Structure formats: C-alpha cells, structure tokens
Amino acid sequence: MEANKDQVSRLARSTSRFAEAMRQGTSRAYDPVRVGVLQCAVESGPLRAGEIAECLDALPSSITRHVQALTDSGLVATSPDPADRRAVLVEATEAGRAELNQFLEIGDQVFGEVIADWTAEDVETLTRLLDRMIEAWAAAGAHQQQRANRKRPGRFGWSRI
C-alpha cells in the first residue's frame, strides 16, 4: 500500500519540525556550519574550501570565514595546494580530530537522554527508516524540488541560487 497524500504531508511536516527543533537547540550551543567544516576536514581532508562548500551545500565565502576561525582555534591547518598555489588545502589537526570526537560523543549522550524511554526495537526501526528516507532523498529529492520549482515560476524565487 502506498502512502496517501495526507500521510505524505504529515511525514513532511514532522521531518521539518524535527529538523527545525534540532537546528534551534543546537544553534544555541554551537555553530553547525563550523562543525560541518571540521567534520569534512576530518573525514575527507585535506580539501579546498570550495570542496568543503560543495560538501555542505554552502557559499564558499562563508566557508572561508569558518576555516579562518577553525585555524585560529588550532582545529584545522591550511597549506598551499600543490596543484594550484592560489588555493589552500584545509586539514584537521590532532586537536581538531579530538574536538570533533568529543563533540560527537556529547551529541550521542544528549540524543540518548532524549530517547531514554524508547525500546531498542523503536530505535532500530526509526534508524532503519531514516536511513531509507535519506537514501531516497539523495536519489530523488533535489531533482523533485527542482521540478516542482519549475512548475511554480516566481514563487519562492528567493530560495533559488
């Protein structure tokens, strides 16, 4: 049985509310873009700032600002790109790796406290379904949004780049 329009709408609203609740709670405690820059540098570095911007779907100018702040904090280091001396490569330092690990551990603790009264089965089910939704979104979400935007010219144009 496929989901009906009302079920799809409720799921869309619930995921939006959850994303907004996460954003509001976390943005008071840390800068999510800065954490994303550090995470990209740890997981995929060394990277150019433009590659980090692509990874985070962010503007390159904002990434440059965050890289500078992370450099000033000793969490990343920059070096000239041997392939293009005009560009720099961003790489996490040992302090940056340790900071990210501590950040992720605290996040796991907080999340654990939020769902402390859930059963292991509930956690496994939601994780499986979220992973499935993320994969489906990665496969079709951006394309479907672009298609929908073309059908409604002039509306929500502020979100187009």
Q: What is the pLDDT along the chain (161 residues), one digit of tens a residue?
A: 788 899 999 998 999 898 888 877 776 678 888 999 999 999 998 999 999 999 998 888 889 999 999 999 999 999 998 988 888 999 999 999 999 999 999 989 988 999 999 999 999 999 999 999 989 888 877 667 666 666 655 555 545 44
Global pTM value? 0.73
Residue 63 shares a structural domain with residue 124: no
Residue 94 shares a structural domain with residue 139: no
Residue 110 shares a structural domain with residue 124: no
Give the residue among 137, 27, 43 at the shortest CA–CA distance from 145.
137
**10 in any annotated domain:** no
In degrees and rounded to multiples of 5, residue 83 shows phi and psi of: -80, -20
Alpha carbon 84 to chain centroid, angstroms: 28
Taken in order 64, 66, 72, 78, is the CA torsion positive or negative? negative
Task: Name the residue range of residue 51's domain.
Answer: 31-116
Residue 40 shares a structural domain with residue 108: yes
Taken in order 155, 53, 101, 42, is the CA torsion positive or negative? positive
Residue 138 shares a structural domain with residue 149: yes
Beta-bridge partner residues of 88: 80
Residue 159 shares a structural domain with residue 96: no
pLDDT at 97: 97
Residue 49 shares a structural domain with residue 108: yes
Residue 51 shares a structural domain with residue 80: yes
Give the count of domains, the chain. 2
**25 in any annotated domain:** no
